Amino acid sequence: MRARKRAVLKFTLLLSLYRSRSLIADFIRKDFVGKYKGTTMGFTWAVITPLCIILIFTFVFSTILKVRFGGGRSADFVVYFLCGMIPWLTFSDALNRSASLIRENAHFVQRIIFPVEILPLSVSLSGMIQLGIGFTLLLGVVGVFFTPLTWTVVFVPLLVCLQLLFTIGLTWTIACLGVFVRDTGHAIGLGTQMWMFLTPIIYPAELVPESLKILLVINPMAHLVKGYRLAIIEGTVPDIAGLLILTCVMVMVAAFGYLFFMRSKPAFADVL
């Protein structure tokens, strides 16, 4: 019975998204392009911004601070750091924006036939476009200036898809909570900052004491960041069994977020 319910939920979700594909595409375009609307350089900023971030961090960590792990080069730390920071910036931005997303688009809630659930989805997908640009630039910089890339970079798109599932599930949940609890935005802002420091982005996971390793085990972003680094820096295949488990977790998070959002959706109009 439970398996049947899960299958029905999955089919309903996919059917709903398929029917709304044109709207989703429009909102993704509006969200992504809207950031640069009216600017002189337009879409070019989508490339300049992550490129500047990469170059600035490279200069600061390798030239000024000369940060390194063990006997490694400063350049090694730069790549290590960026493989974690670039996906994290996209992830945290989507979560923080989703807290006020429904309230900012309250006029859509009043439209009975409008699928308001596509709003968090569109924000998540828009962020993935920026993540794709960031990773493309990073791979180019790494391949040209640091270390030759290997075929294992083909796992990066897979990891991005897993991050997308995780992000969508959380944005649905947070967007829903943001309707009923106005403090959600502040809590998420603080929470994402704490979460970042609990994820091995600016430090290696090996430095975490054994008594606290459980925090890494239950942290999906820690596994994603590790996967990105294995594929880009180490040139090794991420643990397949671990990827399968991570995929199941991400699917469950996405399914929970969708179900939670859809069950709460009828009450949105009363609150807004």
Range of the domain at 223: 22-271
Amino acid at residue number 234: E
- At 72, the pLDDT band (50, 70, 90 cuts) reads low
Number of domains in the chain: 1
Contact yes or no for 124/175 (Cβ under 8 A): no
Structure-block tokens of residue 150: 């290997």
Contact yes or no for 84/77 (Cβ under 8 A): no
Asked whether residue 33 is assigned to any structural domain, the reply reads: yes
pTM of the model: 0.88
Asked whether residue 2 is assigned to any structural domain, the reply reads: no
Phi then psi for residue 27, to 5 deg, are: -70, -35
- Going by C-alpha positions, the residue among 251, 271, 270 that lies closest to residue 259 is 251
Asked whether residue 208 is assigned to any structural domain, the reply reads: yes
Structure-block tokens of residue 24: 């989703």
Say what the pLDDT of residue 162 is.
96
Asked whether residue 41 is assigned to any structural domain, the reply reads: yes
Contact yes or no for 242/248 (Cβ under 8 A): no
pLDDT in tens, 199-227: 999 888 888 999 999 999 999 999 999 99
